[in-house]
Amino acid sequence: MDYLIVFADLISSTEVAVELDPENYAKEYIASFNWSVLRAEEFVRMRIEHAHPRLHFEPAIQGVDPRGDEAICFQSIDATAGARDGPDLVASAVAWAYVTKLFWMAAPYNLRRIVKHQFPRDIAFGLHIGPAAIVPCTKKEAIASLHINMTKRIESEAREGGCSRIFASVDVIEKFQEWQYQIEHVVPKNQLPPLYYTGFEPREPLRPNTLKGLSIPVELWELVPEVFLPKNLPYLFGGVGHLVDPNSVAGVMAKGMAETFFGTCFFHGADNELAIKFEIPGINDPKTYVDTWFSALEGRTRLFMGEPWTLFNCYFISCAFIHFLGADGRDRKPIVEELFASAKRAWERTRSGSE
C-alpha cells in the first residue's frame, strides 16, 4: 500500500530549549507549535469549503500527530480510487503545511519575537509518497518503511531551503500539479485560492549515499510563491490580491482562517490551565492580539527583506486579521498594502538574482 507521508519539525528547537526554562519551553514554544499544527488541520478539513463549494478536499489530510517539536501524518493512497482522490489528498497536505506556517508565524511565540525586532523562527516540512505497512500491536496506528526515513531526510534537507522550506519528492509534485489542473477547470481563475498561486522548484537531489537503502537519487522540490509570474498576473488581484476583499472567495477564506485562529482560546489565565503561556503584558483578548500584530509589523518590513515567502505570510495573516476586526480593521489597510508591495519587490529581486 502506498502512503502519503508528511514530517514537520521545528528549526533550531535545541537552541530554544537552551534559551528557555523547561516550563516556558513547553508552554510557550512547543505549545504554540502543537496548537498551530492542529488548528491548521482543522482549517484545511473544515473551513476551506465555506469559501467555495468546489474548493474542499475529498479526501483531506487527517490524523496529524504532534510529538513535541515535530509532527507526523501518514495516509494511504489507493491507486484504484477516484481520479480526484490522490491529487486532493496531496493538495490538502501541501495546504496543511502552508497554513501551519501561517498559524505558526502569527502564534504567540513568534509574535513575541517580532515585537522584540527578532526574526520569527521557522518549521521545515518533508512530503513523500511510498510503500509502507501498518505496524501491529501499537497504541497508535503506525507504519514502517524505508520511505519513513526518506521523508524524514527530505524534511531535514528542507531546513536549508531558500524559500518556504516545504520540500517534496517528485511523486508529490505530480499529484499537486494534477490538483492545480483539475481545480482551474471547476473554479473561475479570479476565485482560485492562494494555494493555486504556488508551485514547486527543483532543489539539489537527495544522493544515494546519504541514506542506507537508497539506490537512486531522489529529486527534491521546494514550494515557492508564483503569484507574480506572467501567466498569473491577469488574475493576481482576483486570487491573492482579493484577500483584502471580504466578499471574494479569497477574502472569505482569509476570514475563516482568522476565525479558526481565534476559535480555540490560547490566552493564559487561572481559568485556562491548558492555554499557551504568553508573556507580552496586556494581551488577554483577540482584538488586543491583532492590534499587537499590526503594531509589531508597522515600519518593520525591512526585517523580512530578502524573504518573499515571509512577507507573503505576513500579508496573508494581516488580511485575515483585518476581516476578523471588521470595520475596526479599515485603518490597517495601508500596512497590508505595504506588505504586498514589499513582497512583490522581494520576489522580483530573488528572481533577478537567480537568472
CATH of the domain at 205: 3.30.70.1230
CB contact at 8 A, 31 and 276 = yes
State the average pLDDT for the chain.
79
CA–CA separation, 262 and 73 (whole Å) = 24
Distance CA 159, CA 305 (A): 19
Which one of 197, 227, 257 terminates a domain?
227
Are 111 and 249 part of one and the same domain?
Answer: no
Comparing 126-130, 164-168, 348-352, the range with the smallest average pLDDT is 348-352
- Rounded-to-integer distance, Cα 121 and Cα 294, Å: 18
Residue 270 falls within a domain, yes or no?
yes
Is there a single domain that holds both residue 83 and residue 168? Answer: yes
Average pLDDT of span 303-309? 71
The last residue of one of the domains, among 183, 201, 227, is 227
219 and 320 belong to one structural domain: no
Residue 37 in domain: yes
Instruction: Kindly state whether residue 220 falls inside one of the protein's structural domains.
Output: yes
Domain residues for 139? 2-227
Same domain, 204 and 268: no
Domain shared by 200 and 292, yes or no: no
For Cα atoms 293, 298, 299, give the angle at the middle one, nearest 5 degrees: 150
Burial class (CB in 10 A: 0-12, 13-18, 19+), 3: buried
Residues 223 and 267 both lie in one domain: no
173 or 84: which leads in pLDDT: 173
Whole-angstrom distance, CA of residue 263 vs CA of residue 257: 10
Distance between CA 9 and CA 113 in Å, rounded? Answer: 19
Query: What confidence tier does 147 reach under pLDDT thresholds 50, 70, 90?
Result: confident
Q: Are residues 285 and 344 in the same domain?
A: yes
Model confidence at 242, in pLDDT bands (50, 70, 90)? low
Cell of 247: 466578499
Q: Are residues 16 and 125 in the same domain?
A: yes
- The amino acid that residue 95 corresponds to is A
| Whether 291 contacts 282, CB under 8 Å | no
Beta-carbon count within 10 A of 80 CB = 5
316 with 197: CB under 8 angstroms? Answer: no
Specify the higher pLDDT residue, 129 or 140.
129
Query: Is residue 279 included in any domain, yes or no?
Result: yes
Q: Which of 227, 254, 278 is at the close of a domain?
A: 227
Q: State how far the alpha carbon of 227 is from the alpha carbons of 164, 199, 209, 218, 254, in Å.
A: 14, 9, 37, 27, 17
Query: What DSSP designation does 165 have?
Result: -
Residue-wise pLDDT for 52-77, tens only, equals 666 778 888 888 999 889 999 999 98
355 assigned to some structural domain: no
Q: What is the pLDDT of residues 248-290, one digit of tens each?
A: 777 777 788 888 887 755 554 545 555 565 556 667 778 888 8
- Residue 238 within any structural domain of the chain: no
Q: What are phi and psi of 221, to 5 degrees?
A: -130, 145
Of 57, 76, 77, 124, give the one whose Cα is nearest residue 97: 124
CA angle 319, 321, 325 (to 5 degrees): 120
Are both 138 and 172 inside the same structural domain?
yes
Distance CA 102, CA 198 (A): 15
Same domain, 150 and 277: no
SS (H, E, C) 98-134: HHHHHHHHHCHHHHHHHHCCCCCCCEEEEEEEEECEE
The x, y and z cell numbers of residue 140, run together, are 497508535
End-to-end CA distance of the chain: 41
Examine residue 144 and state whether it is found in any structural domain, yes or no: yes
In a domain, 74, yes or no: yes
Q: Read off the pLDDT band of 239 (50, 70, 90).
A: very low
Residues 161 and 136 placed together within one structural domain of the fold: yes
- Domain identity same for 190 and 289: no
- Count the domains in the chain: 2
DSSP for 277-294, written as a single string: P--STT--SHHHHHHHHH
